Amino acid sequence: MYAPAGVQVSKDFPIPDKMKAWVLGGPGELKFVDKDVPVPKKAEVLIRIDAVAICATDLDVIFDGTVALVQGGKPFNKNWTPGHEYMGTVAALGPGVDEYKIGDRISVEIHAGCGQCKRCRMGMYTSCHNYGLNYGDVDKGHRANGFTTDGGFGQYQINNINTLVKIPDDMSDEEATLVVTAGTAMYGLTELGGLLAGESVVVTGPGPIGLLGVAVAKSLGAYPVMLTGTRDNRLEIGKKLGADHVINVRNEKDVVAKVKELNGGKGVDYVLECAGAPNSINEAAYMVNRGGKICLAAFPHEQTNVDIRHIVSNNIYLFGIRGEGKSATHRAEAFMRQKRFDARLIHTHTFPLEDLPTAIRYAKDRVDDAIKVVVKMRGAETKKQAAE
Ligand SMILES: [Zn+2]
Ligand SMILES: [Zn+2]
């Protein structure tokens, strides 16, 4: 059984030496293999993964390698495990860890900065200057599980204690995988200024981050909150999560004019851009009022022309965010713990770990209107299940 030197284990929580995990071969090629259960170092714990959600960024990583950086390059054929939006149970403690107990249920955030570079010292650990430097002879202590280090599509993983968020017993495994998604929305909105009460917000793109962006903005007191998108079923979920107005851009000749009409003739204070479409930045710039702020939270797939003259002459601020920095997951979890919004509305499908390729197909092709697809380690049936 698993008993590495210096690692605290419990006889009540036996851990095998080997585990099942998916690894990435070539682009789009996943293999289900046996791997050694990893060993936590100082300030790290071993997590038994209980559930993991599939993110659009996982699809980018698996099918073309961006934005992962594994052993200094693309993630292919490196016996590397993707997956980053997981939750689970603390199974073993690395040397010196007393912040968590074996058996604690936790959710994770992705980025553990090195803790020693300029950005980490500023609290901006998702912009760590030692990003991706934690392999071979290099050990900067940096991890971004599912991007630079092994991730969550397997039975166990290592996490730095700084990336854990304790979750309450009444939060289901599926809901807990969404803490990190809500955390990204929280990070984007707080980087925009944070005090949103009574201020107007447009969220563009009703994907998981956009939908939870609506929920977090509303919980922070924003008014009005508008959501734009092309799929009515997702816009309806946006309404349930707190959107005061939804705009289907397919039915609207001029979405900027519609936003202004709904906001008393003026542009809005903030745009949280989650669509990543070629015209998204310019539309966002035309939707905000003078001096307004735009947060770019989507990874676009192509380069785009930006109307810089409009941005400069109107003193518009642009923020690009990566991940969920400044402990945003803790603040997002606090909203979810208090049931300020029901993140479960975006969870649509559940599959067992061995069906990961099917789960990925559902997420990628949006089969059966899939939004958030979750893989569970135990208790999921092999066939498609309805949402909880
Ligand atoms: Zn993600
Ligand atoms: Zn750093």
The pLDDT assigned to 380 comes to 79
Residue 132 lies in a domain: no
Residue 293 shares a structural domain with residue 259: yes
What are the b/e assignments for 11-33, b being 16+ CB within 10 Å?
eeeebeeebbbbbbeeeeebeee
C-alpha 166 – ligand 1 centre gap (Å): 19
C-alpha 15 – ligand 2 centre gap (Å): 31
Residue 9 lies in a domain: no
Residues with CB under 5 A from ligand 2 (ion): 113-114, 117, 120, 128, 130
> Which range of residues forms the domain containing residue 260?
181-320
Q: How many residues does the structure list for the chain? A: 388
Counting ligands in written order, the one closest to the CA of 178 is 1
Residue 333 lies in a domain: no
Residue 386 lies in a domain: no
Full DSSP string of 179-227: HHHHHHHHHHHHHTTS--TT--EEEE--SHHHHHHHHHHHHTT-SSEEE
The pLDDT assigned to 195 comes to 76
The pLDDT assigned to 383 comes to 52
The pLDDT assigned to 19 comes to 98
Residue 264 shares a structural domain with residue 239: yes
Domain containing residue 30: CATH number = 3.90.180.10
Q: Model-level pTM?
A: 0.94
Counting ligands in written order, the one closest to the CA of 111 is 2
Q: Which two tokens stand for residue 377?
A: 């380690």
Counting ligands in written order, the one closest to the CA of 114 is 2
Residue 28 shares a structural domain with residue 154: yes
Residue 206 shares a structural domain with residue 93: no
C-alpha 321 – ligand 2 centre gap (Å): 16
The pLDDT assigned to 388 comes to 47
Q: Which two tokens stand for residue 168?
A: 């309450």
Q: What is the total count of domains within the chain?
A: 2
C-alpha 53 – ligand 1 centre gap (Å): 8
Residue 152 shares a structural domain with residue 29: yes
What is the residue type of 162?
N
pLDDT tens string, the chain, 388 residues long: the values are 899 999 999 999 999 999 999 999 999 999 999 999 999 999 999 999 999 999 999 999 999 999 999 999 999 999 999 999 999 999 999 999 999 999 999 999 999 999 999 999 999 999 999 999 988 888 899 999 999 999 999 999 999 999 999 999 999 999 999 999 999 999 999 999 877 899 999 999 999 999 999 999 999 999 999 999 999 999 999 999 999 999 999 999 999 999 999 999 999 999 999 999 999 999 999 999 999 999 999 988 888 899 999 999 999 999 999 999 999 999 999 999 999 999 999 999 999 999 999 999 999 999 999 999 999 998 876 655 444 4
Residue 366 shares a structural domain with residue 304: no
Residue 25 shares a structural domain with residue 160: yes
Residue 304 shares a structural domain with residue 242: yes
C-alpha 71 – ligand 2 centre gap (Å): 17
Domain containing residue 301: CATH number = 3.40.50.720
Beta strand ranges found along the chain (DSSP E):
18-24, 30-36, 44-53, 85-93, 105-108, 111-112, 134-135, 138-139, 143-144, 156-160, 164-166, 201-204, 225-229, 245-248, 268-273, 288-296, 317-320, 347-352, 372-376
